[in-house]
Structure 1
Amino acid sequence: MQPAASGVGPTATKRPKDRKDRIALAGAELFCERGYHRVSVDEIAAVVGISGPAVYRHFANKYAILVHATRDVVGALLQATAEPQATAAEGVLDELLRALAAVTVAKRRVAGLYQWEGRYLTPEHRQEFQAGLDTLVGRLTTPLRTIRPRLAEAPAQLLVDAALSALGSVTTHRATAADTEELLTRVAWTLLRADPPRRPPAPPADPPAPPVRPSSRRELLLLEAIRLFRRHGYHAVGVEDIGRAAGMQASSVYRYFPSKADLLAAAYYRATDRLTAATTAALAEAADPADALHRVVRAYVAFAFGQRDLVAVYLAENNNLPDEDRHQLRGAQRQHVEEWVRLLGTVRPELPVADARVLVHAALNVVTDIGRLGRFERTSGFDAQTSRLALAVLHA
């Protein structure tokens, strides 16, 4: 029997050259699946098949994994759109959209970092991340404005944002169509050809009056919790912060909510109840399935734009709910999606159910992303204009 080489046991294996990338990929998948704060370095290591300390040979800490994973997502999008082969603007744009659809479908388990987990980056890294996305938007806006020369810069960018949101929607669900890439490309083209919502008038110079605070202490605590969760993220907010914002001691908070998790659950039930009520009312007033589809879209747009803090928390903090509440509320979310799918199938009976489900998720994501970007305030007519974008997606 030959002696083992110096420093290497007989069962030792050579460290893979791509181990750092594999660690980052495992981290990104877990961050998207369970949320950044609910994932430990040891859990990431277990997925890769190494020990926790081995991770630190490649990354200083968990945050460094998040930065690397985010750079990888943005880098893949930029690389895919760096050198289009077409020369005519329409061909360039089609090539870019197809490349982006391919990347988002291939990276659907990790590309969701763009939407929510990126908020945990430091300002420096967030700025770097945003600069990459701005470059991507510019690469699509230039050929779009060549094709549509009467389209101003801001509306063109909004349509590009909507198209990117539709492409990125595949990261928010697991549904697949017969050809998901082709369907998403068609949706993106539909949005780029649409009439953009008009920018509302500039706000008055004087700041608006502060909103009326509810007299109920429970309602006030819930209002402030939602606002803080949206601004800083659930894990960065303490019960003391919520109590201070509501003008009371932390001990008083527990008279109304046993824990911070109960505050978060209350926000989710509030959002679910309001969305269900709005959808039910829209269906009750409809004259036929096509009218019903228009009305539920309008109801969702009004909900998303009228209660941005609540909607942002509703979309971002799912993984931080207590298990029982999370399962119950995800069931309610699925029911809402399936209501849209049923209506769309009635209006478009030729459309496969799988395609309808992908289109519904794309429309929902476009609406919430436009609201999340915060570039436009809700004004007269803007809800209807945004609804037309969502309906264009459903009819792509």
Structure 2
Amino acid sequence: MRQAVGDTAGAPARRPKDRKARIALAGAELFCERGYHGVSVDEIAAAVGISGPAVYRHFPNKYAILVHATREVVGTLLAASEQPSADDARGRLDELLRALVRVAVNRRRVAGLYRWEGRYLTAEHRQEFAARMATLVGRLAGPLRDLRPELTAGQADLLTRAALSAFASVTTYRAAATGTDTERLLIRVAWTLLRTDAPAAPPRPHATADPAPVAAPVRPASRRELLLVEAIRLFHRHGYHAVAVEDIGRAAGMQASSVYRYFPGKADLLAAAYYRATDRLTGATTAAIAEASDPADALRRVVRAYVAFAFAQSDLVAVYLAENNNLPDRDRHQLRGAQRLHVEEWVRLLRAVRPELTTGDARVLVHAALNVVTDVGRIGRFDHTEGYDARIARLVLAVLHA
């Protein structure tokens, strides 16, 4: 029989003082690995080495673990950035960046909790999370504006969030990314971003609001296509597990029974969304490379194509990045392979342009660049400003050349 954490042979079991924190940490790791809905309280308990009922002595339900874990992630970042000792703005900013990248690298298994699982928080807790993140961003944006007084508050905010996104990119892939070499490289990326010309930042949605649905100007004539469009929109807005086949049918103006004429089940709708994203992204990347005159031109074109795709297909890209764990087993391996191939195409092009980079460093830069696109896209919509995607593409290229 497995001995409970904190037990000693022949002595009464003692409850560790940090058990609540250990439960929250185990929950955060599992939520990041398999998604909030893919994890049970019993599985969290097993990871800690206790029984399921023991968890409820500390948390009333799984949602409370998510809230606590999210607070812990932001709290750790706030604690790390609390009191920079340098006297000058550049020194303070550099000190803050070094403290924050250390947290991101050392806690990479949980630091990505903010990205997708935060959508399962209530409006009240989303607002709390957003306010604390705004405090963190403000701590960096203040000295940045001291260094660059020409920046507006919105521009400083955007560049700061882009730098934090580069740090958070270590949470998005499984290859080893630890140690001072990775930290130094990401610090270089952050400084490159903070020195880059900044586009005007779009207004961010209110923290308490659900993501606003993006309505297509013309509803697809094909019922199958309409179902897929509505499924993608709902998966993005609410998460795969919170959406029922009946919801998708209702959004498309159909009975649930009619949905099954086109898709055997909800998982097949999700897989169809992934195959669509993969096909479109592969097509855009292939076309960009085919039109290029040399590797540097190919890299520029691939970046522009990805940014344009991500902004034009924001719901589809968000689902593509967030719902891997919910794919049917028969599709998951193939589609994850396609995602890796896309990253490796960027790595190949980047090393052709910058042969001094190791494959590992090139991969770190590529993941940072891709994450910046994703997170900047989550700040707001960009279709209101002509040429905005081109300016963001230049920001992404700066990351790759850091």
TM-score range, shorter chain: over 0.9
Residue 317 of structure 2 is aligned with which of 311, 314, 317? Answer: 311
Equivalence for 1:271? 277
- The corresponding residue for 1:27 is 27
Q: Matches of 1:209 and 1:193 in 2, distance apart? A: 36
Tell me whether 231-240 or 171-180 shows the greater mean CA deviation: 171-180
1:362 aligns with 2:373: no
**Aligned residue for 2:89?**
89
Asked if the contact 1:312/1:372 (under 8 Å) is kept, the reply is: no
Q: Aligned-pair distance for 1:125?
A: 1.0
Tell me if structure 2 keeps the 8 A contact 1:306–1:378: no
Whole-angstrom CA distance in 1 between matches of 2:216 and 2:89: 48
- The answer for the alignment partner of 2:67 in structure 1 is 67
Name 1:126's counterpart in structure 2.
126
Cα offsets for 1:369-390 (capped at 9, x unmatched): 1112225336432121111111
d(CA) in 1 for partners of 2:351, 2:129: 38
**Distance in 2 separating the partners of 1:332 and 1:324:** 14
Deviations 1:93-121, CA, capped at 9 Å, x for gaps: 00001110000001100011111111111
**Distance (whole Å) between structure 2 residues aligned to residue 92 and residue 367 of structure 1:** 27
Structure 1 residue aligned with 2:335, among 329, 333, 338? 329
Give the aligned partner of residue 207 of structure 2: none
The residue aligned with 1:389 is 395
Listed one character per residue, the Cα deviations across residues 17-53 of structure 1 (whole Å, up to 9, x for unaligned) are: 1111111111100000000001001101111111111
Q: How does 1:75-224 map to 2 (within 5 A)?
A: 75-175=75-175, 176=177, 179-199=181-201, 211-224=217-230
CA deviations 1:158-207 (Å, max 9, x no partner) are 11111111111111112327611111111111100001123579xxxxxx
CA gap of 1:216–1:303, structure 2 versus 1, over 3 A, is same
Aligned residue pairs total 383
- Aligned-residue offset at 1:210: 6.0
Partners of 1:199 and 1:333 lie apart in 2 by 29
**Shift of residue 13 of structure 1?**
2.9
Q: Secondary structure of the residue that 1:110 maps to in structure 2? A: helix
Partner of residue 371, structure 1: 377
Relative distance call for 1:45 and 1:210 in structure 2 (3 A) is closer
Paired letter, 1:305: F
1:200–1:105 Cα change, 3 Å: closer
Q: 1:257 aligns with which of 258, 263, 284?
A: 263
Query: Counterpart of 1:282?
Result: 288
Could you tell me the percent identity over the aligned residues?
A: 77
Structure 2 CA distance for aligned equivalents of residues 260 and 141 of structure 1 = 43
CA shift at 1:236, angstroms?
A: 1.1
Any conservation in 2 of the 1:200–1:377 contact (CA below 8 Å)?
A: no
Please report the RMSD computed on the Cα atoms of aligned residues, expressed in angstroms. 1.7
Give the match for residue 237 of structure 1: 243
Whether the aligned pair in 2 keeps the contact of 1:78 and 1:136 (CA below 8 Å) is yes
Matched, 1:54 2:60: no
- Matches of 1:246 and 1:375, distance apart in 2: 24
Q: Distance in 2 between matches of 1:385 and 1:168?
A: 22
Can you list the C-alpha shifts for 1:231-274, whole angstroms capped at 9, x where unaligned? 11111111111111111100000000000010011001000000
**Is the deviation greater in 155-164 or in 10-19?**
10-19
Residue segments in structure 1 that go unaligned for 5+ positions in a row: 1-7, 202-207
Structure 1 outlier segments of 4+, above 6 Å:
none
Q: 1:130 to 1:200 in 2, by over 3 A?
A: closer
What letter is aligned with 2:187?
T
Structure whose alpha-carbon radius of gyration is higher: 1
Partners of 1:177 and 1:355 within 8 A in 2: no
Bigger mean CA offset, 371-380 vs 333-342:
371-380
Alpha-carbon distance between aligned partners in 2 of 1:292 and 1:257, rounded to the nearest angstrom: 38
Q: 1:135 to 1:72 in 2, by over 3 A?
A: same
SS in 1 for 2:28: helix
Q: Is the 8 A contact 1:28 1:113 kept in 2?
A: yes
Q: Is the 8 A contact 2:369 2:399 kept in 1?
A: yes
Q: What is residue 3 of structure 1 aligned with on the other side?
A: none
Report the TM-score, using the length of structure 1 for normalisation. Answer: 0.94
- CA 1:254 to 1:19, structure 2 compared with 1: closer, same or farther past 3 Å? same
